[in-house]
Amino acid sequence: MGWQDSSWLLTCICFYFTFVRAVNTQKSVPWEVQRYDGWYNNLINHHRGSAGDTLVRLLPANYADGVGEPWLEPELPNPRSISNVAMKGNSGLPSTENRTVLFVIFGYHVVADVVDTTKPGCPIDFLNIRIPKDDSHFNAGKSKKEYIDYERSQWHTKTGWSPNNPREQVNQETSWLDGSSIYGSSHSRCDALRSFAHGQFASRAKGSNPAQSLPAESNVGNLMWSAPDPSTGDHSINGLCVLGNDRGNENLFIMAEGVIWFRYHNYLASQFENESLGLTDEELFQKARKWVIATFQKIAFYDWLPAFLGHDVPPYDRYQSFVDSGVSHEFQVAAMSSLATMFPPGVYMRNRTCNFRDIVSKDGTNTSKALRVCNSYWNRQNQNVEKPEDIDDLIFGMASQIAEKEDNIVVEDLRDYMYGTLRISRSDFIATSIQQSRDHGLATYNTAREAFRLAPTKNWTDINPELSINNMELFQQLAQLYKNDTSKLELLPGGMLENNGTFGKLFTTIILEQFERLRNGDRFWFENTQNGLFTEEEINIIRNRTFHDVIVAVTDAEEEDIQKNVFFWRNGDRCEQPKQLTESDLEPCTPISTMNYFEGSSAGFGIILVILILLPILCYIAAYIVSHYHKKDFKQLQKKQQGATKNAKDLKGIRVSEWQGPKEKTRDICLQLVDKKTIKVLDIRNTLIRSINLGSHSSVKVVQSNNKGQKALLLHIPNEYDLVLFFQEENLREDFIRQLRSYLDRNDLPLETSEMSEQDILKNAVTKQERSQLLDTFFRHLFSQILDIDRLDAGDLGFEASVKAKEALTCELSRTEFADFLGLKADSLFVESMFSLADKDGNGYVSFKEFLDILVVLMKGTPEEKSKLVFRMYDMEGKGCLSVQEFHNVMSSFAEVSSNTIKEAQTKEAVESVLKEAGYQDKSELTWEDFHFLLQDQEKNLFFSNLPIPGKGKKNGNIPLKRGCDSFLINRKQSGALYATPSVYTEARRQKYERSKVKQKIQQFKRFIENYRRHIFCAATFFAITAAVCVERAYYYGFDAEASGIPETTRVGIIVSRSTAAGVSFMYSYILLTMCRNLITFLRETFLNQYIPFDAAVDFHRLIAMVAVILSVIHTLGHVINVYIFCNSPISILSCMFPYVFINNGSEEPHPYYWWFFQSIPGMTGVLLLIVLAIMHVFAFHHFRRSSFRAFWVTHHLYVVLYVLVIIHGSSGIVQTPRFFIYFIAPALLYLGDKLYSLRLKKVEIAVVRAELLPSGVTMLVFKKPHDFDYKSGQWVRIACLSLGTNEYHPFTLTSAPHEDNLSLHIRAVGPWTTRLRELYSPESITELGCLPKLHLDGPFGEGHQEWNKYEVSVLVGGGIGVTPFASILKDLVAKSSINSKIQCKKVYFIWVTRTQRQFEWLTDIIREVEENDKNDLVSVHIYITQLAEKFDLRTTMLYICERHFQKESNRSLFTGLRSITHFGRPPFVAFFNSLQEVHPMVNKIGVFSCGPPGLTKNVEKACRHLNKRDETHFIHHYENF
């Protein structure tokens, strides 16, 4: 089917709904029913005269550009100035022909029936009228007004494109005299007026006399025009009558006219029902309607029009189909302005007995003679016109009142106090009419006269010679305004100035021409006998009906109560008016008021903005609370699992609370009075906190509180911080003192007691924090004596020094403080030996001088002095030799630093190995010379050994000490250096080309581009597309969306909001692809992996999310601007911008700010989206993700809600049609397919074959491999345990190899879920459950580790539980080596960083298997134990010596039992990677794969980036953090 056929089909459908449907609903009516919208009146031109058709131009359009731009200042005078000059004057002059006010109001009703151009066009085109500075009315008062609002009339969109097709305005009414002001200009509007009973309109009081009723009150906001009442500001829909003309409530007088015709229809329907029984409601309604229209036509043409013209009109000849009955622009101006001159300042009300009513003011305090016109606009509640009889009185009053004189004067009620807008309540009818004539492009006054064969005026006085005699100043001022150019004089002022007791010739000619066309071109005219509406007899009946008959029929008046011709009041007619009204006879007009639409909304608007700004903070607080709760819950779980918490009955000693300081929490402790004059302080876990040695004290001082309750006690310990205790009851304190006294008596120590207030005890007590500050000063000054440290860094001891600083030099260290300084336990053998050596006076404390003596040797002594010092430490008796057992004790004390990871048997074996290598295996004692001989191979390390000084190398003045560094392979001396550095070969390094700093930076940049070219290309492509999408929308709303009117209203806000919305839509859609794990796993095996860095999917996901959140915030800011502007824009503007949301009903006031935020679909969903985004983003922070993974898991699944809200957010199409689906469909389908693919395993229960609890909180799970489960070493899966919930999945790397029959995982208990999992698979739980809990599996998923075999040289770095992917890789490597499988990788370096080798002993077995099967020296394993001190102090130096002796003797590590080299401390990645460049000079790329804590992978990444800046081997880093 072609487009022509489609167009024909669409036309048929439209014809059905617009014509056939209407015909079907009225098929019982025997005559042709005239359509409400005016269509098909003319059967040749169907749309002619219809509602929505354009106005007719009798004269060519007069636009400045010939198309649509009106003539304005300065080419033409200011409209308000013309009004002030030509139409200003005194009221009170009666009509020369005694035309009544009812004549004027009926004329307005007739004009309203055929023309309405008040609806503004879209987009809104303002043509505001500037208020002159010298305007005495609008510029009066405190707040001056700058302009009168004027919005250009609606024009046909197909016009206004060229001078041959100028702008043509649209007529909202039908141009036929068809009663559209009574029945409305559409079928739906008429239906809204009807009661659908008895053929009548719906009335306010059911069952009332149809001739004495009022129309129904409006309760639908879009039915009646509800402009604001300028006297009260009320703009609600309540109180308005439902009439055919939507502006029928413009003033009380036009409303009364509409009520008359409303009643008349109901009156006729009631009459017809009584005359013809059996007629349906539709028949009754349509019969009454055609009689009302015919009556209205007759009165308008044959009664009112002759009254206006002053002579009879030509008789009706016949219907002429070729006549265009469209209303002309010129008629609208002529009719409205002519009637305006006759409008009085007030309108009388009288009853049928000629009693003229007093009018009560709105406040009920005053009365006046008549209704003031200026206070009667858009009245909702007027106590003078409330009841049906009030309408009668108003009609009678208008019939008896003589209108104003037919001249150029317009009363102030229309000229100064015409209703305006909410922004400015008053307007000028004449000024706006002049502006409208310019808007419509009307011809000039002389052009119009010539067109109607009237002589043009050459002189200003020719317009109205009689008026020029009486008021020559008017014409002089007018000539001055128009620069004395009569050719520029406009139609409206020129035509009005012709009036002089009678209407001017030009306007009467225009009006007669229009009415003749209305009559002759109307197929449904009542006198057209060919239309079949009326018989000749009925036509004669209609010809004899007058408006008098209508009024009498629908009011309580009798025939004689009102004159026969209600359009004139002749002498002798009843009920003469009391007087011709003037403004002074009436209440004053309500003054001009202004309104700021946003007034009173600033506070609420600001509060909403503050809440939106605080959203992330509130979410952060919520996340912190959840994190804190999970941490607390996790700690309780750990305590429960480990059984660490002790009951009070399990603790031996005295339970009491310790006060630690003013800013510290009080803690529960247990005191034990043990032998050797020692008091032990333990926590509730029975862990030693502090040991107080009383052996060196002559007495013990105790201070008791004397406050009420007497619960506090201070135990003073010289050279240590005090112990402040709180007891629950006084008797418990007394019991403690008795026990302490008894204990001291047994040890011959006196007890000194004293009392003071509790406040003084806490004030004078030396707290641990104060003691720490004192010791800090002690150590700083101690090192200032040895190291080259500036005195200011150490602290000045001069006159201005505090007493505390001077006291530091006299203080002494306890054994506990000495041990804390060394980083060891107070009861360790090393501390005991070192402390005994330093404590020369044997008082149990080390003084400043004693510590200084031993520190000098350790920091600056020779290797011989240091070895002698160590020898003396363990030669307690000073006999000059050590027995083999004592040497064994020496090594045992060194092994303490490894937290007993070296077993006693290993220590013994190491001692024997060291002695055997030195040839001392047969000696029973070792002299110092023998001891020093054992250390000679490591003399350099011993030279650089020292004590582990806290904070050394930091900015506090302690200089870093150079030390030896352990190499991965062998050590060599660097030329010119004093210490060893890691290296491989002794050949010289390749000479580097020295570049300038600029060239170096350029080279670094080049290397960066080369190293990350895939990442840069993909990110640049993605964000380029995002930017293009944003720019496209920005350009559209900046330049191509003029027709919508939005850019003119809020250009910045709409550009920002719509452009970012497009970018966010694109990013929110395609971020799904980064989470398609199965798709990524598949694609990484294709050629696309060469161009797209699939390993960076998670990082790219975070980057997209971050940018999307930023754009969302900017999008919100754009909408905040929009909402503010929309809240300050009248409803007429909003209805143009958002036609599907707002309808311009005249109320003008926009929706308040909270409607946009909380009552509109975009606003409500937008706020919810911000909340969801804030929750998801905050809970995705690394800290919260680590501390509460379940909260992260749950909140991140709000993405479903996010996408639903995004779809709903744009579904309303307020600004544009929904576009999100354009971006969303493709990635959503891929993501859905990926999820469905995962469900094939996700919902399958997998049996666990074996579960084992390993040391360091590691749980090993072995479970069956699902069918068709193919994976590669290094890949990972997600599991959920059925017993812990099937919706929470956690990622873990497979530790099994692809060739194995089962899958295995090693899971470390570091969080609540993994801890519960470990508890679930404990032997006790398994026994209780009776079986191993089953799992759900999702995966496998690919990541960078699986590409280890694609590099010629690969480096595997595992830290903590992060070694799990390398377990799978090492197993796979062993399997492939055993079958001589060809692999690309030629060398693998495995670096295992662990706190202690006992943490993951299961990996040791795998490494041992690798060593046994590695026949080609493919793997080089290096183990780093980080629990040992990183510095080469005395302890690690001795352990290092033992390890090297043991390695040389046994070819295996003392710690691990493997051939792999064991190191102490953390690996120097930069040095190691640097050495690899020399070991493998021909390798261009080395793959580095790390897994573990973020700190580890970050250090590896830094090392790779550092070396990648050079023109050497490229290190490609793949890492994974869970």
User: pLDDT tens digit string along 1227-1237?
Assistant: 989 988 888 88
The residue among 244 and 1212 whose pLDDT is bigger is 244
CA distance 1254 to 1399: 9
Residues 6+ apart with CB under 8 A from 1493: 1359, 1360, 1362, 1521
CA distance 546 to 302: 9
Kindly list the distances between the CA atom of residue 1282 and the CA atoms of 1193, 1195, 1246, 1342, in Å, as whole numbers in the listed order. Answer: 17, 21, 10, 25
The share of the chain scoring above pLDDT 90, in percent, equals: 32
The residue among 1451 and 721 whose pLDDT is bigger is 721
The residue among 180 and 854 whose pLDDT is bigger is 180
pLDDT at 191 over 60: yes
Q: Which of 1030, 1184, 1192 is nearest to 1107 (CA)?
A: 1030
Q: What is the pTM of this model?
A: 0.69
Question: Which region, left, alpha or beta, applies to residue 437 given φ > 0 means left and ψ of -120 to 50 means alpha?
Answer: alpha
The residue among 608 and 983 whose pLDDT is bigger is 608
pLDDT of residue 984: 34
pLDDT at 293 over 50: yes
| Phi, psi at 716, each rounded to 5° | -90, 125
CA distance 1055 to 1125: 14
pLDDT of residue 990: 35
CA distance 357 to 393: 8
Tens of pLDDT, residue by residue over 547-590, are: 999 999 999 899 999 999 999 999 989 999 999 999 999 999 99
* Lowest mean per-residue pLDDT among 195-204, 812-821, 1142-1151, 1475-1484: 812-821
pLDDT of residue 661: 87
Kindly list the distances between the CA atom of residue 836 and the CA atoms of 688, 814, 843, 876, 1084, in Å, as whole numbers in the listed order. Answer: 22, 12, 10, 9, 64
Burial of 1517 per CB tally in 10 Å (0-12, 13-18, 19+): buried
CA distance 614 to 607: 10
pLDDT of residue 796: 44
pLDDT of residue 1405: 73
pLDDT of residue 806: 58
Q: What is the mean pLDDT of residues 141-151?
A: 75
pLDDT at 49 over 80: yes
DSSP output for 322-391: T---PPBHHHHHHHHHHHHHT--SEE--B-TTS-BPPEEPTTSS-EESSEEGGG-BT-S--TTS-SHHHH
CA distance 426 to 590: 9
The residue among 1139 and 170 whose pLDDT is bigger is 170
Three-state helix/strand/coil letters over 358-369: CEECCCCCCEEC
Tens of pLDDT, residue by residue over 337-353, are: 999 999 999 999 999 99
- Tokens 């305590």 belong to 639
CA distance 17 to 24: 10
pLDDT of residue 843: 67
Using DSSP, how many helices (H) and how many strands (E) does the chain show? 53, 32
Q: What is the mean pLDDT of residues 14-26?
A: 46
Residue 542's CB is within 10 A of a number of other CB atoms, namely 18
- Tokens 């639908």 belong to 220
Q: Find how far residue 131's CA is from the centre of its chain.
A: 43
1500: enclosing H helix or E strand? helix 1494-1508
Residues 6+ apart with CB under 8 A from 278: none
Residue 301 DSSP symbol: I
Collapse the DSSP code of 989 into the 3-class scheme (helix H, G, I; strand E, B; otherwise coil) and give the result: coil
Q: What is the mean pLDDT of residues 1489-1516?
A: 81
| Phi, psi at 1254, each rounded to 5° | -100, 165
* Lowest mean per-residue pLDDT among 57-71, 433-447, 1370-1384, 1480-1494: 1370-1384
pLDDT of residue 260: 95
| Contact in structure between 1358 and 1392 (CB atoms under 8 Å) | yes
Q: Which of 1331, 1241, 1235, 1327 is nearest to 1283 (CA)?
A: 1331
Q: What is the mean pLDDT of residues 1146-1159?
A: 83
CA distance 751 to 713: 14
- Tokens 């060893």 belong to 980
Q: Find how far residue 777's CA is from the centre of its chain.
A: 52
Show the tokens assigned to 524: 């449904």
Identify the band that residue 827 occupies on the pLDDT scale cut at 50, 70 and 90.
low
Amino acid at 511: I
Tens of pLDDT, residue by residue over 850-897, are: 766 666 666 666 767 666 766 766 666 667 777 777 776 666 665 554
- Tokens 């492939």 belong to 1376
Question: Which range in 86-100, 1176-1190, 1199-1213, 1232-1246 is most confidently predicted, on average pLDDT?
Answer: 86-100
- Tokens 């002189």 belong to 459
User: CA triplet 168, 173, 177: central angle to 5 degrees?
Assistant: 120
Identify the band that residue 414 occupies on the pLDDT scale cut at 50, 70 and 90.
very high
CA distance 252 to 267: 22
Q: Which of 967, 974, 962, 970 is nearest to 1472 (CA)?
A: 967
User: How far does the chain reach from its first CA to its final CA, in angstroms?
Assistant: 59
CA distance 409 to 1119: 49
Task: Tell me the longest C-alpha to C-alpha distance in the chain.
Answer: 158
| Average pLDDT score over the chain | 81
CA distance 183 to 331: 23
| Contact in structure between 734 and 742 (CB atoms under 8 Å) | no
pLDDT of residue 460: 93
1003: enclosing H helix or E strand? helix 997-1011
CA distance 236 to 239: 8
Residues 6+ apart with CB under 8 A from 640: none
Identify the band that residue 281 occupies on the pLDDT scale cut at 50, 70 and 90.
very high
* Lowest mean per-residue pLDDT among 945-949, 1080-1084, 1402-1406, 1413-1417: 945-949
CA distance 262 to 304: 19
| Contact in structure between 792 and 781 (CB atoms under 8 Å) | no
| Contact in structure between 1443 and 938 (CB atoms under 8 Å) | no
CA distance 705 to 695: 26
pLDDT of residue 1181: 86
Three-state helix/strand/coil letters over 791-846: HHHHCCCCCCCCHHHHHHHHCCECHHHHHHHHCCCCCCHHHHHHHHHHCCCCCCCE
Burial of 1327 per CB tally in 10 Å (0-12, 13-18, 19+): exposed
Kindly list the distances between the CA atom of residue 567 and the CA atoms of 248, 265, 338, 401, in Å, as whole numbers in the listed order. Answer: 21, 21, 15, 10
